[in-house]
Chains A and B, each alone.
Chain A
Amino acid sequence: MDLVASLDGVGVSLGGRPVLRGITLTLTSGEVIGISGANGSGKTTLIRTLATLQRPSDGNGAILGVDIRASDLVNVRKQIGLIGHTPALVPELSLRENLTHVARLAGLDEARVGPVLDVVGLDEASDRRADVASFGMKRRIEVAHLLLRKPQLLLLDEAASGLDSSATDLIDALIATTTDRGGATIMVSHDRSYLDAKCQRTMVLATGQLEVVN
């Protein structure tokens, strides 16, 4: 099994306050792992660290073979897909325009935008502006981003919260296609039972430290 992500004794401090301490985990190709924890336990900081968007203050780590402290992370970041708490959309653009914008910035084939909108069930609502779209629609566009980009490491931070069953099915399908490509997924949620149902391994993040529970 190929190693997709590894952290060894990683600590992160924000504003001088330690948020994560001694985090050690490995994620191999095809794996889906879940991390739960109370509000403020550091789940989002851990996800951002794995996404190389947050520099660790201690420890070592690698994502897809690239040191997370490397100065040039452009190529590895292109292999990382993230769904965070707040959808990353341009509010004044339509849902279709948002997807096209990301496709252009990433240098992807724009012809795939239409079919992907169809897959996420937004073909008819695609001309709706993002600032008046529902949260579920915005989430579907984020899933569409990732279907276009096909990342090897999928990071889902409370991605299924507040979604109906058809939207959570889309997230399940996104995880399945990532696994089929040989990628891996880390899901973060405060809902332990949801993670137990979806993941091969689950861990709990408490006071900045990880404990394997299942």
Chain B
Amino acid sequence: MPSPEIPIRHVATLARLELTDEEAARYQEQLGQILHYIDVLDRHDLEGVEPTAHAMPVLDVIRADEARPGFSQAESLTNAPRRAMDQFQIPKVLE
């Protein structure tokens, strides 16, 4: 399968990354090279092979449904770049 041209602006939007024109051109080219290399996967017949998500799968891990101590509101906010009224501050989303 030949590698398609990556719609780099669309992908950057999905990833929530602002790119300069220079960055967009550079990433488009570099990602194209990487994806072209990744086509080596087609050397092997992968049809019908079961996919592996985890090498050492551990399933259905649950803990006892008990309350336990966590961060206080003040502790949760200590690393926030901006706070207001003991809450995380975000740019305005409603007019």
Report whether chain A binds chain B.
Answer: no
**Which A residues contact B (CB, under 8 angstroms)?**
none
**Which B residues contact A (CB, under 8 angstroms)?**
none
